[in-house]
Amino acid sequence: MTRNASTMLLGSLLCLLAGTVTQAYAQLPPSLQGVGFEQRLNEQVPLDIEFRDDAGQAVQLGDYFADKPVILVLVQYRCPMLCTEVLNGLVKALLDVPLLVGKDFYVVTVSFDARENPELAAAKKKTYLERYGRSEAESGWHFLTGQQDAIDRLTQAVGFRYRYDPKTDRFAHASGIMVLTPSGKIARYFYDISYNPRDVRLALVEASQGKIGSPVDQILLYCFHYDPNEGKYGPAVMNLLRAGGVLTVLGIGGLVGLLSWQNHRKAKRGKASGRAADG
């Protein structure tokens, strides 16, 4: 009975999650349809793509791939919202990772806004090198800009889908980072704006050995319908965020109920045994 009850509870929760998330996605505005990350594990990133580094020098993506794994981050440098949170979350995680940027792995940050220039990249690099505070990172964390065709090749290769809204001059995009092998193959995706240091370390170690991770759940935040004046997301995105909260509350309630039922059953059996022994 306990196993059946647990199975029924789990099934109900999964059905609820599927229905809630499906309904939330269905309510997304047209500007967010098709935006997100398509996981392309073990795909080779084109290493001949040309960009400009934060010093304005012409480089190829392959210049950063040789003997170390690479964390790849796609952002807009002028974005005051989610892109900044992605970089903040990455730095926070890296500060608790025993491996060092520049010594054990590289970080390559690429702007997906073709209007941005090396000056913006240099300013962003200065900010995050100061926050990271490790001298090795100067030659190991790179901030790139490029032409639209180069950006398109890279974003398509890693499955990063975004949209530009000319009315608001903003990009709709999802949040996350990627870990690549030294040869440039996609080994792992991390979504959201907070990254577990242990998971990042393990992903880097495995990627350094050419190992490819498993697909992960695509629970994403969207850099759109966020009102900086209000400091909150709009209804479409909040539906997605609430779905996880609702499921968590229901799951906790269900488990508490199940445990209470089990304790009640045990208590009844104990009383029955006691009466039998007295008789």
**pLDDT one-digit tens code per residue, 56-106:** 999 999 999 999 999 999 999 998 778 899 999 999 999 999 999 999 999
Clarify whether residues 136 and 220 are in a common domain: yes
- Residue 229 domain-assigned? no
Euclidean distance between CA atoms 115 and 275, whole angstroms: 82
Euclidean distance between CA atoms 119 and 193, whole angstroms: 25
**Does residue 182 register a pLDDT over 80?**
yes
pLDDT in the model for residue 249: 56
pLDDT in the model for residue 24: 44
Clarify whether residues 142 and 241 are in a common domain: no
The one-character DSSP state at 223 is: S
Euclidean distance between CA atoms 161 and 37, whole angstroms: 6
Host domain of residue 46: 30-224
Judge contact between 145 and 117, C-beta under 8 A. Answer: yes
Say what percent of the chain tops pLDDT 90: 51
Torsion of the alpha carbons at 32, 34, 37 and 42, rounded to the nearest 10: -170
The whole-chain average pLDDT of the chain stands at: 80
Q: What is the pLDDT of residues 184-208, one digit of tens each?
A: 999 999 988 889 999 999 999 999 9
Torsion of the alpha carbons at 63, 68, 71 and 72, rounded to the nearest 10: 20
Clarify whether residues 50 and 21 are in a common domain: no
Chain centroid to Cα 42, Å, comes to 18
Clarify whether residues 218 and 256 are in a common domain: no
Rounded to two decimals, the pTM is: 0.70
Clarify whether residues 266 and 141 are in a common domain: no
Euclidean distance between CA atoms 224 and 237, whole angstroms: 8
Number of domains in the chain: 2
